[in-house]
């Protein structure tokens, strides 16, 4: 049988997701697939568009790669716009010619609605939808001061964030009396407005723009119907979307009255060979302007094309949880209490800036909807109640009260029905999870691998863990928090035991509190705890055998058994003289040299016995160890700051060097990264670090628990406009609390996600000192700072410690015979296994 041709018009998030789903089905083999995209760029993540100004590139935001399309034999034609559909002959037309199809999928998305205001054609009137739009906004914002977003909805606030991150004074102009009128009520909108204004974005509600004219002090002036006006250098329209349905309209498919391509539950249009998904499609008179329903349509259509007759799109939950300009906003279900008889429970804490509203059914038994502003920690629980119709507790108000006032803890996993959706990215229900556990999965990692749950946005990680733990326990599988077979304790327990009992060696600890002789799991973990508590040299006789090879030899073992060396370069600032020394040493020992992501220099290929010699030279030139081998502070990255940069508002380099020198050597559950940016342009990428500091006009904003790497996490804004002293005190406390309470190898990002009470709790502990341990944490940190020593300096000065660096203890001059090298781009590198010697 010859293959049929499937054409997809549109390469956005939904179109791409559809292809990802389709290639997983057997039906993929039946089709030659062609994809036409109007934009020249591969599908990218529009939800995180504003990150483009935070330094993300198209590659960071891209959903797939050209290789992925090639591997799946999909003919991807970007920049080739489809101009017509001939339904009778089943062909489409582009400027390059005609193409026949058997099945056609329209995933053309939407375009931004620009209100018909006089003067809106001005070149500095822009929209916010594509990366090209963002490039235009960036160009327009260059060298000017003020920007206005028209539209105070979800996208509008995202756009305002983008303008702010370009360094503009940002304004939001909204026609309705409040922000986010679709999702929020007046109290919620008012609180959001207040919070956003605190962050420096001016909000103007109930403003109808009548015309845009030339400005006097800025490029443009917006005149409003109440005879007021606002001057601005550029305007971004973000006043809603309209379905991109022109192709469908001209080919006379059934259309909605106000646009949109009519589809049935199978995502098929009025032509049985043409289908539509995403924001261009109109289902049951509704356009869905969020990505999740689009994904659901994509999955449905992939099943339909795979011959699944049961597959159907049955609407989508429009609940949303987001962080707008750093402010939590959540909206669930019937947020506006439009269900007849619906009642409200409201909690409004103006002091803390938290607003929560529950909409409950007339009989008080089910949750119909909810609104959250300022704190989304109740969102997951409320969403589960609403989505699954779980009966509310007797006093439903406890669900939104703060815990100190008798608020209920999060909904236990047992209360969730089998149908409860745990991971919405990959559509995994509690029943799916129970299924794989019954089929033999006995741990969280296995469940994740089998179901893909929590591998999308990761927002459900904590919930998933609770469900898996609870289900395993029910089946009699003991969920052990023990660190390994030698200690029946978690890392936090061990920390407390060591601290309280003043234990200084592994031997004492395992004799009194464990069994056996330890292993490669507990030994390094205990070594780290001992270092945090007592700060003895890691090569002290008692500690040597506890360390991973990297810690033992204070260098990073590479795949061929040689080591790499990273001297500390605080804040990334280095003198030419020191740079020359690095070059000279690298040259002398023929070390492959590479700049790291953390503004340091990595020297590769040193043998064990060369390490002390190399360090002797580095130390003589004033270098210290960079702890690249340790679970400890790596680098504090910085931008050049106010000393040089035209935009910098504080000395970011100076602060970065100070922080790096303060926290260097601190042993922690996992590695730590920090960065300091000198202004909101955020060139140091502080929001992807464990500790991120961004300069403001008035001091420093502190972000915590971010992560790049395998599972990126945007850091949470922790405190604003701190003085130097306040900043140090907050970081001392956050770090020491993390070091004391985190699990083994748990980065701050995961620690935060698993911390009961989350960000708010951490703020209470650190900023309000709710546990009364603030001073103690700072004192502990001060002790560690005072007892810092450069491990390498101590090691090279001690002949006993140097003995450890003999490659073969009985043959000092013997070189390891298995090392084989080659030269690439003028540097030495190991010969790979598959390469001929």
Residue list for the binding site for siroheme: 683
The minimum distance between CB 519 and other proteins, in angstroms, equals: 4
DSSP string, 69-134: HHHTTEEEEET----EEETTTTEEEETTEEEE-SEEEE---EEE-----BTTTSTTEEE-SSHHHH
**3-state SS track over 813-830:** CCCCCCCCEEEECCEEEE
Q: Figure out which of the listed residues 249, 273, 587, 814 binds other proteins, where binding follows CB under 8 A.
A: 814
The minimum distance between CB 797 and other proteins, in angstroms, equals: 19
Q: Which residues are annotated as a binding site for [4Fe-4S] cluster?
A: 639, 645, 679, 683
The minimum distance between CB 73 and other proteins, in angstroms, equals: 35
Contacts with other proteins by CB under 8 A: the residue count is 37
In 430-578, DSSP assigns E strands to 556-557, 563-565
Q: Figure out which of the listed residues 29, 88, 818, 837 binds other proteins, where binding follows CB under 8 A.
A: 818
Q: Spell out, one character per residue from 179 to 218, where the chain touches other proteins: x when CB under 8 A holds, - when not.
A: ----------------------------------------
Stretch that binds other proteins, among 354-362, 558-566, 567-575, 700-708 (CB under 8 A): 558-566
The minimum distance between CB 522 and other proteins, in angstroms, equals: 8
Q: Does 597 participate in binding other proteins (rule CB under 8 A)?
A: no
Residues 200/364, Cβ–Cβ less than 8 Å = no
Residues 642/632, Cβ–Cβ less than 8 Å = no
Q: Does 809 participate in binding other proteins (rule CB under 8 A)?
A: yes
Name the β-bridge partners of 7: 34, 104
Q: Does 15 participate in binding other proteins (rule CB under 8 A)?
A: no
C-beta of 606 vs 781, nearer to other proteins:
606
The minimum distance between CB 666 and other proteins, in angstroms, equals: 22
Q: Spell out, one character per residue from 522 to 541, where the chain touches other proteins: x when CB under 8 A holds, - when not.
A: xxx----------------x
Q: Does 804 participate in binding other proteins (rule CB under 8 A)?
A: yes
Name the β-bridge partners of 436: none
> How far apart, in Å, do the first and last CA atoms of the chain sit?
49
The minimum distance between CB 518 and other proteins, in angstroms, equals: 5
CA distance 784 to 524: 19
Residues 401/349, Cβ–Cβ less than 8 Å = no
The minimum distance between CB 806 and other proteins, in angstroms, equals: 8
Q: Give the residue among 104, 93, 107 at the shortest CA–CA distance from 270.
A: 104
Stretch that binds other proteins, among 166-174, 665-673, 755-763, 804-812 (CB under 8 A): 804-812
Q: Spell out, one character per residue from 412 to 441, where the chain touches other proteins: x when CB under 8 A holds, - when not.
A: ------------------------------
Stretch that binds other proteins, among 33-41, 112-120, 518-526, 668-676 (CB under 8 A): 518-526
Q: Which residues are annotated as a binding site?
A: 639, 645, 679, 683
The minimum distance between CB 810 and other proteins, in angstroms, equals: 5
CA distance 401 to 348: 10
Q: Does 518 participate in binding other proteins (rule CB under 8 A)?
A: yes
Give per-residue burial for 282-308: e unless 16+ CB within 10 Å, then b: bbeeebbbebbbbbbbbbbbbbbbbee
Q: Does 740 participate in binding other proteins (rule CB under 8 A)?
A: no
Q: Does 671 participate in binding other proteins (rule CB under 8 A)?
A: no
Give the three-state DSSP class for 666.
coil
CA distance 483 to 746: 12
Q: Does 828 participate in binding other proteins (rule CB under 8 A)?
A: no
Stretch that binds other proteins, among 39-47, 211-219, 294-302, 809-817 (CB under 8 A): 809-817
The minimum distance between CB 590 and other proteins, in angstroms, equals: 19
CA distance 688 to 675: 9
CB atoms within 10 A of CB 559: 8
C-beta of 178 vs 543, nearer to other proteins:
543
Look at the block and give the residue holding tokens 């260098």. 555
Tokens of 233: 């250098």
Q: Spell out, one character per residue from 599 to 628, where the chain touches other proteins: x when CB under 8 A holds, - when not.
A: ---------x--------------------
Q: Does 811 participate in binding other proteins (rule CB under 8 A)?
A: yes
Q: Does 802 participate in binding other proteins (rule CB under 8 A)?
A: no
Q: Which of residues 462-501 bind other proteins (CB under 8 A)?
A: 485-486
C-beta of 449 vs 832, nearer to other proteins:
832
Q: Figure out which of the listed residues 132, 363, 414, 520 binds other proteins, where binding follows CB under 8 A.
A: 520
Q: How are the residues of the chain apportioned to helix, strand and coil, as percentages rounded to the nearest 5?
A: 35, 25, 45
C-beta of 500 vs 809, nearer to other proteins:
809
CA distance 720 to 704: 12
Residues 6+ apart with CB under 8 A from 680: 164, 165, 167, 694, 696
Q: What backbone torsions phi and psi does residue 742 show, to the nearest 5 degrees?
A: -80, 160
Q: Does 807 participate in binding other proteins (rule CB under 8 A)?
A: yes
CA dihedral for 80, 82, 83, 84, sign (positive or negative): positive
Q: Does 249 participate in binding other proteins (rule CB under 8 A)?
A: no
Q: Does 548 participate in binding other proteins (rule CB under 8 A)?
A: yes
C-beta of 78 vs 544, nearer to other proteins:
544
- Angle of the 13-23 helix axis to the 291-305 helix axis, nearest 10: 30
Q: Does 552 participate in binding other proteins (rule CB under 8 A)?
A: yes
Pairing of strands 169-173, 202-204: parallel
Q: Does 803 participate in binding other proteins (rule CB under 8 A)?
A: yes
C-beta of 349 vs 443, nearer to other proteins:
443
Q: Give the residue among 354, 342, 459 at the shortest CA–CA distance from 400.
A: 354
Q: For residue 556, with 0-12 CB atoms within 10 Å meaning exposed, 13-18 middle and 19 or more buried, which class applies?
A: middle
CA distance 278 to 13: 9
Q: Figure out which of the listed residues 144, 182, 290, 544 binds other proteins, where binding follows CB under 8 A.
A: 544
Q: Does 512 participate in binding other proteins (rule CB under 8 A)?
A: no
C-beta of 522 vs 781, nearer to other proteins:
522
C-beta of 644 vs 808, nearer to other proteins:
808
CB atoms within 10 A of CB 139: 11
Look at the block and give the residue holding tokens 């483009």. 52
Q: Figure out which of the listed residues 620, 808, 823, 832 binds other proteins, where binding follows CB under 8 A.
A: 808
CA distance 49 to 56: 9
The minimum distance between CB 628 and other proteins, in angstroms, equals: 16
Q: Does 505 participate in binding other proteins (rule CB under 8 A)?
A: no
CB atoms within 10 A of CB 599: 19
The minimum distance between CB 476 and other proteins, in angstroms, equals: 22
Q: Figure out which of the listed residues 546, 619, 736, 777 binds other proteins, where binding follows CB under 8 A.
A: 546
Q: Does 557 participate in binding other proteins (rule CB under 8 A)?
A: yes
C-beta of 95 vs 817, nearer to other proteins:
817
Stretch that binds other proteins, among 66-74, 350-358, 494-502, 515-523 (CB under 8 A): 515-523
Q: Up-side HSE of residue 615: CA atoms within 13 Å toward CB?
A: 29
C-beta of 518 vs 678, nearer to other proteins:
518
Q: Figure out which of the listed residues 115, 409, 516, 597 binds other proteins, where binding follows CB under 8 A.
A: 516
Sheet holding 91-94: strands in order across? Answer: 84-86, 91-94, 97-100
* Binding-site ranges for other proteins (CB under 8 A): 485-486, 516-520, 522-524, 541, 544-550, 552-553, 557, 559-561, 608, 803-804, 806-811, 814, 816, 818, 833
């Amino acid at each position: 049988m010859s293959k049929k041709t499937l054409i997809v018009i549109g390469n956005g998030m939904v179109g791409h997701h559809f292809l990802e789903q389709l290639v997983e089905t057997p039906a993929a083999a039946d089709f030659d697939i062609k994809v036409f995209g109007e934009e020249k760029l591969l599908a990218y993540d529009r939800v995180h568009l504003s990150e483009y100004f935070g330094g993300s590139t198209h590659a960071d935001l891209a959903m797939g790669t050209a290789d992925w399309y090639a591997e799946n034999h999909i003919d991807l034609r970007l920049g080739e716009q489809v101009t017509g559909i001939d339904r009778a002959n089943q062909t489409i037309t582009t400027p390059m010619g005609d193409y026949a199809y058997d099945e056609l999928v329209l995933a053309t998305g939407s375009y931004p609605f620009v209100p018909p205001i006089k003067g809106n054609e001005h070149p500095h009137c822009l929209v916010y939808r594509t990366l090209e739009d963002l490039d235009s906004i960036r160009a327009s914002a260059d060298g000017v001061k003020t920007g206005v977003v028209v539209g105070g909805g979800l996208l509008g606030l995202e756009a305002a964030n983008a303008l702010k991150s370009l360094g503009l004074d940002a304004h939001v102009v909204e026609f309705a009396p409040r922000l986010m009128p679709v999702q929020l009520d007046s109290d919620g909108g008012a609180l959001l407005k207040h919070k956003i204004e605190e962050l420096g974005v001016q909000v103007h509600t109930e403003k109808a723009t009548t015309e845009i004219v030339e400005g006097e002090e800025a490029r443009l002036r917006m005149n409003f119907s109440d005879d007021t006006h606002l001057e601005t250098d550029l305007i971004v329209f973000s006043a809603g979307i309209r379905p991109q349905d022109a192709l469908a309209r001209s080919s006379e498919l059934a259309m909605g009255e106000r646009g949109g391509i009519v589809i049935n539950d199978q995502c098929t249009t009025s032509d049985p060979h043409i289908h539509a998904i995403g924001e261009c499609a109109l289902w049951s008179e509704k356009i869905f302007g969020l990505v999740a329903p689009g994904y659901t349509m994509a999955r449905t259509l992939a099943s339909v094309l795979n011959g699944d007759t049961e597959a159907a799109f049955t609407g989508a939950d429009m609940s949303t949880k987001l962080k707008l300009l750093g402010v939590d906003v959540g909206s669930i279900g019937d947020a506006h209490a439009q269900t007849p008889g619906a009642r409200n429970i409201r909690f409004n804490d103006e002091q803390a800036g938290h607003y929560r509203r529950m909409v409950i059914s007339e009989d008080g038994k089910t949750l119909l909807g909810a609104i959250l502003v300022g704190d989304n920690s109740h969102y997951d629980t409320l969403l589960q109640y609403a989505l699954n119709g779980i009966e509310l507790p007797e006093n439903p108000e406890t669900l939104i009260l703060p815990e100190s006032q008798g608020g209920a803890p999060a909904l236990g996993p047992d209360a969730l029905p089998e149908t409860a959706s745990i991971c919405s990215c990959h559509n995994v229900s509690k029943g799916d999870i129970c299924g794989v556990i019954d089929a033999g999965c006995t741990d969280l990692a296995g469940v994740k691998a089998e179901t893909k749950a929590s591998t999308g946005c990761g927002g459900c990680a904590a919930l998933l863990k609770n469900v898996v733990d609870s289900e395993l326990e029910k089946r009699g599988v003991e969920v052990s928090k023990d660190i390994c077979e030698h200690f029946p304790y978690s890392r936090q327990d061990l920390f407390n035991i060591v601290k309280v009992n003043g234990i200084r060696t592994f031997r004492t600890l395992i004799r009194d509190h464990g069994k056996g002789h330890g292993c490669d799991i507990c030994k390094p973990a205990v070594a780290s705890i001992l270092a945090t508590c007592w700060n003895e040299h890691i090569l002290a006789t008692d500690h040597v055998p506890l360390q991973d090879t990297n810690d033992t030899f204070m260098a990073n073992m590479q795949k061929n058994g040689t080591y790499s060396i990273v001297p500390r370069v605080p804040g990334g600032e280095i003198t030419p003289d020191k740079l020359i020394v690095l070059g000279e040493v690298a040259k002398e020992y023929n070390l492959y040299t590479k700049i790291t992501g953390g503004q340091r220099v990595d020297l590769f290929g040193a043998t064990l016995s060369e390490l002390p010699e190399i360090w002797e030279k580095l130390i003589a030139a004033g270098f210290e160890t960079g702890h690249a081998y340790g679970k400890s502070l790596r680098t504090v990255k910085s931008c050049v700051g106010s000393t040089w940069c035209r935009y910098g508002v504080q000395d970011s380099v100076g602060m970065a060097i100070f922080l790096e020198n303060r926290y260097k050597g601190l042993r922690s559950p996992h590695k730590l990264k920090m960065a300091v940016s000198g202004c909101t342009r955020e060139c140091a990428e502080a929001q992807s670090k464990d500790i991120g500091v961004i300069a403001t006009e008035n001091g420093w904003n502190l972000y915590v628990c971010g992560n790049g790497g395998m599972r990126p996490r945007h850091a949470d804004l922790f405190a604003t406009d701190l003085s130097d002293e306040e900043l140090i005190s907050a970081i001392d406390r956050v770090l020491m609390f993390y070091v004391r309470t985190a699990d083994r190898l748990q980065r701050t990002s995961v620690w935060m996600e698993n911390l009961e009470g989350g960000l708010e709790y951490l703020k209470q502990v650190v900023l309000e000192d709710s546990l009364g341990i603030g001073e103690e944490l700072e004192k502990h940190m001060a002790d560690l700072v005072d007892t810092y020593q450069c491990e390498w300096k101590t090691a090279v000065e001690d002949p006993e410690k140097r003995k450890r660096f003999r490659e073969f203890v009985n043959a000092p001059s013997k070189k390891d015979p298995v090392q084989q090298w080659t030269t690439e781009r003028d540097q030495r590198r190991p010969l790979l296994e598959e390469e001929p010697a």
